[in-house]
Amino acid sequence: MAAIASSPLRGILMKVASVTVFVGMQACIKLAGSGMPTGQITFYRSAFAIVPILAYLAMRGDLRSAFQTKNPLGHLKRGLIGVAAMGIGFYGLVLLPLPDAIAIGYAMPLLAVVFAAVFLRETVRAYRWTAVFVGLVGVMIISWPKLTLFSEQGFGSTAATGALAVLISAGLGAAAMLQVRQLVKEEKTATIVLFFSLTASLLSAVTWFFGWQVLSWEALGLMALAGFFGGLGQILLTESYRHADVSTVAPFEYTSIILGSMIAYLLFDEVPTMTTLAGAAIVVGAGIFIIYREHQLGLERRAARKAATPQG
C-alpha cells in the first residue's frame, strides 16, 4: 500500500501507538476475561470498537460511503473467519501468559505466506520459504514446552490448551488476511473495517443463547475499554499506512513483545521465560526478513513496469 503523504516518522509513531493500544486491549481482556465465555468477550470487543470507528469515519466524511458494498457475501465470509480467529485467540489469551500469547500470535503473517502460495497460487521463492520455516521453528520453540507430552499434564494442561488455541487463531487470522486481500480489490478500507466490526458483533451476540456471565461494573468497564482500544488501534493502524510505506512501519509490530512483557510483569507478575524470548527473537527476525523481501520485490516490480512503459 503506498503512502498518501510521505511522513515516515508520523507513520511509525502511529504504528507504535496502535501496537500500544492493542496490547492494552489484550491486558484488559486478561484482567476481565477469566471464566467469561469467549463469545461474550468477542461481542464486547467488537461492539465497543464500533464507537471510535464510526466517529473516525464521520470525521473523515466517509461514514455514508462506508456502508456501501459490492460484495456482502465476501464481508460475511471474512466476518465468519475473523470472529472464529478472534474468539479462539481470546480463549488462548486468557489461559496463557501475555508475552507467550503475543509471541505465538506472530505465526499469523508467516502462515499467511504459506496460505497465499497454496490457495492464491502466489509465487514464493526460496528466500521467503526459508524465512517462514525459520519463523515457524521459533513459534515451536515457544510452544513446545507447553505442548510436550513429557510434562506432567501433557496436552491436558491449561498452558497446552492456550498455546493450541493461539496457534489455531493464528491460522484462522492468516486465512482472514487472504480474504481481506480479495476484498480490497473492490472495497474501501473503511467499508472492510466497519462491516467486520458489525458482522463480528452480530455473530458473537448469538452466543448469548448459550449463556453469558453477569459482569461486575469493573469487568464491564474493562471489556468496554478493550473494545474501544480495539477500534482505536484499527484506526491508528490504518492511518500509519497513510503516512509511510508498509515496509517502513510493519517491523514496529514487534514492539508488542516488549510492551506485552512490561505489562505482564506489572499487572500479572508474569516474566517471559528464556524459551519464549529465544523463540520470539527467531520469529521476529524471520518476520522482518519477509517484510524486507516483500519491499525488495515491490521495488523490482515497479522498476519492471517502468521499464516496460513506452517512453515519449
Give pLDDT, residue 303.
58
Out of 120-124, 139-143, 212-216, which region has the weakest mean confidence (pLDDT)? Answer: 120-124
Q: Which residues contact 270 (CB under 8 A, 6 or more apart)?
A: 97, 98, 99, 264
Sign of torsion, CA 154 157 162 164? positive
pLDDT in tens, 282-309: 998 888 888 877 777 666 656 555 545 4
Highest mean pLDDT among 22-31, 32-41, 107-116, 273-282: 22-31
With a cut of 60, say whether residue 95 has pLDDT above it.
Answer: yes
- The pLDDT of residue 38 is above 50: yes
* Three-point CA angle 227, 249, 133, nearest 5°: 95
pLDDT reported for residue 3: 45
Under DSSP, the state recorded for 5 is S
Distance CA(27)–CA(33), nearest Å, equals: 10
Per-residue pLDDT tens digits for 59-78: 988 888 899 998 999 999 99
16 neighbors 252 (Cβ within 8 angstroms) = yes
100, 271 Cβ separation under 8 angstroms: no
Whether the per-residue pLDDT at 155 is higher than 80: the answer is: no
Residues 233, 35, 171, 292, Cα dihedral to 10°: 40
pLDDT at 131: 87
**287-291, long-range: CB within 8 Å, 24+ apart, which pairs?**
287/106, 287/109, 287/110, 287/131, 287/135, 287/251, 287/253, 287/254, 288/251, 288/254, 289/127, 289/131, 290/109, 290/110, 290/113, 290/128, 290/131, 290/132, 290/135, 291/246, 291/247, 291/250, 291/251
Residue 34 confidence class, pLDDT cut points 50, 70, 90: confident
**Are 114 and 175 a contacting pair, CB within 8 Å?**
no
pLDDT by residue (tens digit) across 198-235? 999 999 999 999 989 999 999 999 999 999 999 999 88
33-37, 106-110, 146-150: lowest mean pLDDT where?
146-150
Identify the residue whose cell numbers are 468496554: 224
Residue from 260, 280, 250 nearest 1 by CA? 250
- Residue 246's pLDDT band, with cuts at 50, 70 and 90, is low
